[in-house]
Amino acid sequence: MSYTASFAVMEVTVRGVLPIGDTTENATYFILDTAKSAIVGQVMLPKAVKRSLAVALTVKVPSSAGSLAIGTFDDGGNFQVASFLRVEIPTIQRPDGAVGASGR
């Protein structure tokens, strides 16, 4: 794995509902560019919470990032996708209707 840094960034949103349980430990969840096998971001969240808790965090990642996944690494160094979290990439908003000078 490598850590990728770039000047051009985009904001993605990490969303999900944290697992319910008794643990109070935190875990680091890595955002992985799956096409490049590179870590492009990270968030720290509780491993579990006492009651249902939805999260939505904005994270900056390189704009060149492709398909993104979020998860942790096991003891063997293998990436494990967090099934309760997802990374949402913003859609490019294009203007609709007439654009440009009116020609008057």
d(CA 104, CA 53): 55
Task: State yes or no: pLDDT of 4 exceeds 60.
Answer: no
More confident site: 78 or 96: 78
pTM of the model: 0.78
Q: Per residue in 29-74, pLDDT tens?
A: 999 999 999 999 999 999 999 999 999 999 999 988 889 999 999 9
CA torsion 34-39-43-49 (nearest 10°) is 50
Q: Is the pLDDT of residue 3 over 60?
A: no
Position 90 confidence tier, pLDDT thresholds 50, 70, 90: confident
